[in-house]
Structure formats: structure tokens, C-alpha cells
Amino acid sequence: MNNEELIMAAREARKTAYAPYSHFQVGAALLTDTGRVYCGCNIENAAYGPSNCAERTAFFKAVSEGERSFRKIAVVGGREGTEADALCAPCGICRQVMQEFCDPEKFKIILTDGRGKIRELSLGELLPYGFGAENLSR
Ligand code: THU
């Protein structure tokens, strides 16, 4: 699975976003070390707090299916009814969820807009000095 295919999967996932409050629709496609892809969209809630981002939806689907090793995630987000017109980077909570399961140097986040711009970053670049399980085992 190459980056283009993963981006296409994220674009498809964005179509299922449930975002009646922000009208900002996000899709994510998460690639495991074994080559499987788990997709996610943002899922909002009238009480706002229970809302879930696309990235976490993809991670929680994968982890709940027994997956523990991940290679990369593609993310695309933008206002409803538009192609994404800017890059959409994961929020802090999603970065922390990635930190739980991914190697900060190896795991890659692929950001893309609807105009063909692509930026690939490591988790370590997005979350430097991240807090993880090793901090608790010292
Ligand atoms: N959102 C995501 O799903 N992923 C991101 O990377 C940024 C924000 C969602 C949360 C909320 O449903 C909407 O976008 C507006 O913040």
C-alpha cells in the first residue's frame, strides 16, 4: 500500500464523517505493519465532549481488532462541501494516542489537502518529548 492509496482511503473515509456541529469533516486511514488498513472519520456529539476525531476512530477500531503495530496514517480534513483546502494535522489528544502504540521515529503521519499538497512527518516531529509507557517504568 503506497501513500497515494492510503490517501485515497482517507478521502473515502472523510465521506462518512458525522460532523453536524462543526461542519468540518475529517477522514483517516491507518496502515498496520501487516499491511491492513483501518479507516476512521470524526464522530461528533450534541454534548460536544464525547466527539471523537478521525485519527482516534481509526486507531481504536484497529486496536479493538487486536492490532498493535502501525506504520503510517493518512489524514485529510476540511469544511463540509469543499475539498480540503489546507493540511489538517492531528490534535494533541490524537498525537498522544499515537504515542501509546507507535515508535516516534518510525511512525509517519501523511497530511494532505484536496489540491495535491502532501507533507509527511514523523510522530516525533509532531510530538517531541512525548510522554509514554517508558516514563512509567523507570
Ligand atoms: N478533527 C479530527 O477529526 N481530526 C483532526 O485532526 C482535527 C479535528 C475533528 C474534530 C471535530 O469533529 C472537527 O474536526 C472540528 O474540530
Cβ–Cβ under 8 Å, residues 40 and 58: yes
3-state class percentages of the chain: helix first, strand second, coil last, to nearest 5:
30, 25, 45
CA gap 136, 83 in Å, rounded = 42
Strands, E, within 33-134: which ranges? 37-41, 70-79, 108-112, 118-122
pTM above threshold 0.95: yes
Q: How far is the CA of 55 from the centre of ligand 1 (A)?
A: 9
Site residues for ligand 1, CB cut-off 6 Å: 19, 22, 24, 26, 42, 44, 51, 53-55, 75, 77, 88, 90-91
Using the Cα atoms of residue 42, residue 127, residue 135 and residue 71 in order, give the sign of their dihedral: positive
Contacts of 138 (CB under 8 A, 6+ apart): none
Q: What are 11-45's pLDDT values in tens digits?
A: 999 999 999 999 999 999 999 999 999 999 999 99
Reply yes or no on whether the pLDDT at 138 is more than 90. Answer: no
What's residue 82's pLDDT?
Answer: 95
Residues designated catalytic? 55
Beta bridge partners of 80: none
**Within 10 A of 76 (CB to CB), how many other CB atoms are there?**
27
Q: What are 40-92's pLDDT values in tens digits?
A: 999 999 999 999 999 999 999 999 999 999 999 999 999 999 999 999 999 99
Nearest-CA residue for ligand 1 atom 6 is: 90
Nearest-CA residue for ligand 1 atom 9 is: 53
Atom of ligand 1 nearest to the CA of 90: 6
